Structure 1
């Protein structure tokens, strides 16, 4: 029998109920923009919905981020994007990837959907990443002025969101019995769209209480939070840190007969008439073992191809020592780490398999512990569960070859590894668990075991010099064939991390006006401006470029498999071939052509003479080397064709489109 909050020494939350005026319900909304979550079901809504349901509260889950993706794919928007005119954004975007996406998707939009019309937006093969590129111009990672000046919500930058919300018809969509509207904000770029959503909700339903929650507000310091609540009166309360108990308590206050006193709830901030903005100290959150099963909405799942369900494995990080990480700051008032038992975890997986027929799962954790991995994998095998799963993980010596082999047998499809670098000095400085040798050992063992790795790299961790960054890249290049993909992130110092609190320990000089704002964190409000004298700006730019080029060359194998068999050598004089037009965006740039390969994510500039000579075949007509020689001459024709083959722009005649 599950433990109750009372048994854990936590306050029992009143269970709101209906009345003669009707039942109580809550809307839980996930607003734009989390462009990397298109095609995925972010689990925060399902976890909160499951908890509210266990308290007798009906919730309606709205994935407005996913619906925003559909908004971007409408023909008028694709046309404007392809012309380099993102909605409300100044500047010429004609050569940007957002414009490439707009042009290519006008003719190939259907390739982002499967045969049943379900969203294939999260696919790692083919052109799904173009949807992310299409959305990128609308990303607003707000500076403090967005909190202090409500008029910025009506600036041209927000036009795309305002237009989108108007078309949602919230007046008709919000259930009549809804008394509370919860907005989940895991990422910084959701804050401005979230404020706009709250304003629109209040405009059409002023009786509904609007509550913000999630890491974006949990990591916000109290001064900024005070500014937000004082300025944006459409927000009735902010719930910080663990959201289940505070949200249920606020539901009790909006239930018939309840009294709205949000600052009486631990972990809630709100504007009061008597004392201005009050920040209630957080209380302890629930242990994951006592959380009810996440409640995934079948309608939201049904629109996704290969839907993956998230299952909470832990809150906090079992290591918790990496000095540049601030994820561990999200659970104030609770123990630093709360790990779930294998029995409870597998019970939820089995529930989701039975309820939804699910087979793909993501472990919701900062980093899966090796001991849990072993016990979980063995339990999956013992129960004969036919599932695949993925997780974040860190390189840890306890992930030995035997453990990795067991994980592969139990359905581990891939691990996302925050390796960052192979430089032992830098790794020790920021208190990572592994050194160079351990990182390389782990990659080799995982590859032999059949565990796919998606490795995150930060080439300029604090104090990293140019030679150290290049040496680490050389290390990684030698084992690239053992890795599925690489993601490159510039280093960012965040205020809420140990690096942000004590930058001098890591060789950083605080400089609030320094170039380079929020990067991987996508949360400018938490960014600490600084200078790292270990590299010059030019050296750092060079390192970032080299690492990004490396990731494209060595980390896109799973994407390249989606393409045709490109020519690898010059064909015979009369053999037919063609430009791989179905995979290319061809943009005139003066007399030159800028050619973007949409699967390989690579660009080639065809000089004016080459562009002119190839003109008869740019539309996809087939040709032979002999015909090219007639235009260019024998020797120049061989050079042109060799360059096209090197750039993977030619394929045999008759090869079909990306998806038949």
Structure 2
């Protein structure tokens, strides 16, 4: 039996994710033949090419001309027209530059990759390429984190509808995946859906494979699909599965192996397969990257993921729920230190890799310390980055040992600098402890990334500004930061005990059969637009001290590129680069496009109307469907061409 393990779009293109190598290693250690496929990097390697984007722009021009010739445009026409117009007017230069931009990201010499001006231009160009794809497949919004259309994840029928060839930018890649599955006589195909942006593309891939092969067992697993399925009863779970024969929820090594064995015995498993939530890690082999196209990733050298631990040793934060658990986070477990060191040495030698990202919820400082000492003792020339809590145990002495043992950067869960909120979210750490940890790490030469959020229930303007001021006061010790908006997740303590957090009501909209959206209202006064604007402006002002980018580029937290820049240029690189103003060094050309309509007025009106529709659907009707959307959209007047 040959088993294919497939990682679908859309996700980070700078390096492999851990799920496929972990499952590959486990199955191969049990003498199974595995075909690992990273359909994500293969898709973008095809899409971000000159010929592909040129053909897309030609298709966009045809669609635009057809709309421009219409005697009037309704709301949906207007939204599409604006997207098509902007693609032609603002992105015509992209195809000629896209392959050079990708080559910058893969520049093994580092001469262009570490040149801030060239890197900035490459980022802008690649992101512009994604906008071309989104425009052609309107109303799709696509980047390396998100795959969003208005209705695709509302129901199984909508998921199937959005998988249609004319709505799926990854269809050509899926055809090539199917060809390899046929060539390798695959009997079991597993699709790993780790992140929300992979859900629709993963279902689309499964649907296409099912149309090609009736005799292949197709299963699905991973954190994102687990979080969806565990919220439903058995009947609804089976409806959601759609093209999949089975789904493995929670951790998947042992159930995936059991599934393969049962198929070899001629059995026909179906439905939901429960995995482990507390599997010990002692017997897990090192991740196996053999068979993955490491040369295709948008990076000058590999930065490989590794998992020294799973779960969170604290596990009490009230906002937290993600990964392979029904509530909060999974139970904390660790690998043996000797195994970790041997695995890192093995992977470094095999792949020429000297930088690792430890993909885990939170690394226990004491374990990290023992690992650092072991790496130093073995004289291994490797660096590692990971996530940590800003614990009191991160003393100057420990941090010096961590640095000597290869520690390069730490993303710290700061969350908030308001003492009241820290207590409410059950952080278990004071601001004084945070400051000490930040300064100890930075003084040792380890890059510190501060992870914060605002708009937590009951947070006041004063609370939010205290967090921003914390970052500002300690900016010389902080290499990067993020201060995002709080989002409510189903299995968090906040969602399970809303009254403790000032929440008066939690709801899902009618029509959301999958249950991806969660909304809430709070008791008392909501934060005003003026207050939120003040917070957003303060964050924008603070951001000017760093050279920041969106995920997954250098200047965003815990990314492959950021790690490489730290290693090359030091922990201060993004503050130093900000002073040079690299974001202003590349301006993109505009193309004049003929239009029968007032495009500026149309864009403003269409976006205002679109926001009104969704505000009405979610917060007034609390019900969403294409029919309801179309009924509201039909109330807006048609737009006529300008009189000449």
1:97 is displaced (CA, Å) by 10
Counterpart position of 1:30: 7
Could you tell me the TM-score, scaled by structure 1's length? 0.71
1:405 is displaced (CA, Å) by 1.4
Answer whether contact 2:454 2:484 (CA < 8 A) is retained: yes
Match of 1:69 among 23, 31, 44: 44
- Give the Cα–Cα distance (whole angstroms) in 2 for the partners of residues 124 and 325 of structure 1: 38
Counterpart position of 1:202: 210
Counterpart position of 1:445: 440
> Residues 249 and 469 (structure 1 numbering): CA distance in 2 closer, same or farther, change over 3 Å?
same
Higher-RCO chain (CA-CA 8 Å, sequence separation at least 6): 2
Higher-Rg structure is 1
Specify the SS of the correspondent of 1:90.
helix
- Give the Cα–Cα distance (whole angstroms) in 2 for the partners of residues 430 and 491 of structure 1: 12
Specify the SS of the correspondent of 2:31.
coil
Match of 1:584 among 579, 587, 593: 587
1:225 is displaced (CA, Å) by 7.2
1:154 is displaced (CA, Å) by 4.3
- Give the Cα–Cα distance (whole angstroms) in 1 for the partners of residues 435 and 214 of structure 2: 57
Specify the SS of the correspondent of 2:384.
strand
- Give the Cα–Cα distance (whole angstroms) in 2 for the partners of residues 40 and 231 of structure 1: 30
Specify the SS of the correspondent of 2:293.
helix
> Residues 169 and 384 (structure 1 numbering): CA distance in 2 closer, same or farther, change over 3 Å?
closer
1:410 is displaced (CA, Å) by 1.6
Counterpart position of 2:319: 324
Matches within 5 A, 1:93-132: 93=83, 103-104=93-94, 106-107=96-97, 109-114=99-104, 126-127=119-120, 129-130=123-124, 131=126
1:42 pairs with 2:17: yes
Counterpart position of 2:466: 471
Matches within 5 A, 1:50-449: 50-79=25-54, 90=80, 92-93=82-83, 103-104=93-94, 106-107=96-97, 109-114=99-104, 126-127=119-120, 129-130=123-124, 131=126, 134-135=129-130, 137-138=141-142, 139-141=146-148, 144-154=153-163, 158-166=167-175, 168=176, 170-220=178-228, 221-223=230-232, 226-227=235-236, 229-230=238-239, 232-255=241-264, 257-262=265-270, 270=271, 279=272, 281-283=274-276, 286-297=279-290, 299-304=292-297, 305-327=300-322, 330=325, 336-449=331-444
> Residues 104 and 445 (structure 1 numbering): CA distance in 2 closer, same or farther, change over 3 Å?
farther
1:427 is displaced (CA, Å) by 1.1
1:354 is displaced (CA, Å) by 2.6
> Residues 216 and 343 (structure 1 numbering): CA distance in 2 closer, same or farther, change over 3 Å?
same
1:546 pairs with 2:538: yes
> Residues 156 and 562 (structure 1 numbering): CA distance in 2 closer, same or farther, change over 3 Å?
farther
1:193 is displaced (CA, Å) by 0.4
- Give the Cα–Cα distance (whole angstroms) in 2 for the partners of residues 467 and 49 of structure 1: 49
- Give the Cα–Cα distance (whole angstroms) in 2 for the partners of residues 387 and 115 of structure 1: 22
Answer whether contact 2:222 2:324 (CA < 8 A) is retained: no
> Residues 164 and 379 (structure 1 numbering): CA distance in 2 closer, same or farther, change over 3 Å?
same
> Residues 410 and 66 (structure 1 numbering): CA distance in 2 closer, same or farther, change over 3 Å?
same
Specify the SS of the correspondent of 2:169.
helix
RMSD, aligned CA:
3.8
- Give the Cα–Cα distance (whole angstroms) in 1 for the partners of residues 324 and 584 of structure 2: 49
Specify the SS of the correspondent of 1:261.
coil
Answer whether contact 1:124 1:558 (CA < 8 A) is retained: no
- Give the Cα–Cα distance (whole angstroms) in 1 for the partners of residues 207 and 180 of structure 2: 16
1:481 is displaced (CA, Å) by 2.4
1:208 is displaced (CA, Å) by 0.9
Counterpart position of 2:519: 529
Specify the SS of the correspondent of 1:290.
coil
Comparing 463-472 with 215-224, which one deviates more in the overlay? 215-224
- Give the Cα–Cα distance (whole angstroms) in 2 for the partners of residues 544 and 581 of structure 1: 21
User: What's the CA shift string for 1:449-468, capped at 9, x where partnerless?
Assistant: 11102222202222211122
> Residues 477 and 133 (structure 1 numbering): CA distance in 2 closer, same or farther, change over 3 Å?
farther
1:527 is displaced (CA, Å) by 4.0
Specify the SS of the correspondent of 1:110.
helix
> Residues 231 and 565 (structure 1 numbering): CA distance in 2 closer, same or farther, change over 3 Å?
closer
User: What's the CA shift string for 1:230-262, capped at 9, x where partnerless?
Assistant: 25542100001110001001111222x331134
Answer whether contact 2:318 2:493 (CA < 8 A) is retained: yes
Answer whether contact 2:320 2:329 (CA < 8 A) is retained: no
- Give the Cα–Cα distance (whole angstroms) in 1 for the partners of residues 589 and 237 of structure 2: 45
> Residues 225 and 558 (structure 1 numbering): CA distance in 2 closer, same or farther, change over 3 Å?
farther
Answer whether contact 2:359 2:386 (CA < 8 A) is retained: yes
- Give the Cα–Cα distance (whole angstroms) in 2 for the partners of residues 504 and 86 of structure 1: 53
1:503 pairs with 2:503: no
Specify the SS of the correspondent of 1:417.
strand
User: What's the CA shift string for 1:364-394, capped at 9, x where partnerless?
Assistant: 2101111011100000100100001100111
Specify the SS of the correspondent of 2:10.
coil
Structure 1: which 5+ runs fail to align? Answer: 1-23, 263-269, 271-278, 519-523, 568-579, 591-660
Counterpart position of 1:614: none
